[in-house]
Amino acid sequence: MKKTKSDAWNWAAKREKTAFLALEDGTIFHGYPVGFGRDTVGEVVFNTGMTGYQEILSDPSYSGQLVTLTYPEIGNTGINREDMESPRMFANGLILHDLNQASNWRADESLTAWLYRSEVPGIGGIDTRALTIKLRDSGTLRGCLAVSGTLTEEEAVAQARQWPGLDGQDYAAKVTCTSPYQWDEDGDLSRSWGITTELPPADLKIVAYDFGIKWNILRSLRLSGMAVTLVPAQTPTSDVLAMKPDGVFLSNGPADPAAVTYAIEAARQLLGKTPLMGICLGHQILGLALGGQTSRLKFGHHGCNHPVKNLVSGRVEITSQNHNFALEAASLDPTKVDITHINLNDQTVEGICHRSEPIFSVQYHPEACPGPHDPFYLFERFRSLIGGEKL
């Protein structure tokens, strides 16, 4: 792995605490810059995963957020092309405790080099435990990551307060694809997952609404025998139905589900016309289309160790999650919708299905492999629904 100028600059500056994180309540955390030298703002969240920082930063659902990694040692495994979840980095910034030099046979470049190349700022040397406890107790806060050396603490706090936040914001339109395209499933799977054996026939045709879809979702659908055509978030349902899909998938994505009004209306129009599956934001959109309501969680669910109980089977799944909003259980009509999964940490809704139509969704990410394969059955369930089987 070749060293870059940005690597040398960041390692030389490592112990110089010239950067800081300013929260909207006036709290300041000092640290050293580890990425691009540009100040930025965002919603400060914490992720409890011990690994997976590349997948986190390249997940479009983190758009608008400053991600705090609770695991203290970050950067050891570097960055490689196989573990990307999208074409680029989407998080607004990165907050960590200690940056390590990359030393892994799979690494193409260091985390620092990737941050620099992506023009995304980061900060190290932060007491991430103290920051996490603060967010846990007070709830998610807006923040300003000041790494350029040009902002005073007062100016940074003011910028954090002036940022509009993610409530009521449609970020799906910012991260979606610009035109429909067919997922190149065979080439991607052999390159990214090392699959050299023959894949199952792609005998089902799926249209996926791209609200910020992760590539592992597309890989999982293909491994379950489904060929996927992606369409932009604002695609009319008439265009989707004209493709004559066997089913429609609603993807994950960032920010406030209630703000994606066009997607809620599209899901409502698709009810009863095609089998539907949703993940994360897609789950919330389906719930809203079925008459439910969403509300903001205190500090969201971000991590790969969340226990979820399947109320149908009684089994507990270890899941990966990334969301700040959740469906309100009391808002769902029990004559139409069954709650199929709940979060065992806070009892929030993690899965629903329609009582008479081939529709279901989950809040967590079955493609992310934290269990490692506890929830992968959900993709096979989608196949079964398309075939007319009951949930």
Catalytic residues: 280, 365, 367
Over its C-alpha atoms, the chain yields an Rg (Å, rounded) of 21
DSSP per-residue codes, 267-305:
HHHHTTTS-EEEETHHHHHHHHHTT--EEEEEEEEEEEE
DSSP per-residue codes, 192-204:
HS---SPPPP--E
CA distance 78 to 110: 4
Strand partners, 208: 230, 249
CA distance 57 to 84: 9
Strand partners, 93: 66
DSSP per-residue codes, 66-122:
EEEE-SSEE-TT-B-GGG-SSSS--BSEEE-SEE-----TT-SB-HHHHHHHTT--E
CA distance 37 to 51: 25
Which of 183, 179, 225, 187 shows the shortest CA–CA distance to 204? 225
User: 102 Cβ partners below 8 Å, 6+ apart?
Assistant: 1, 75, 76, 77, 78, 79, 109, 110, 111
In the 8-state DSSP scheme, what is residue 256? Answer: -
CA distance 21 to 156: 8
Which of 187, 178, 373, 367 shows the shortest CA–CA distance to 277? 367
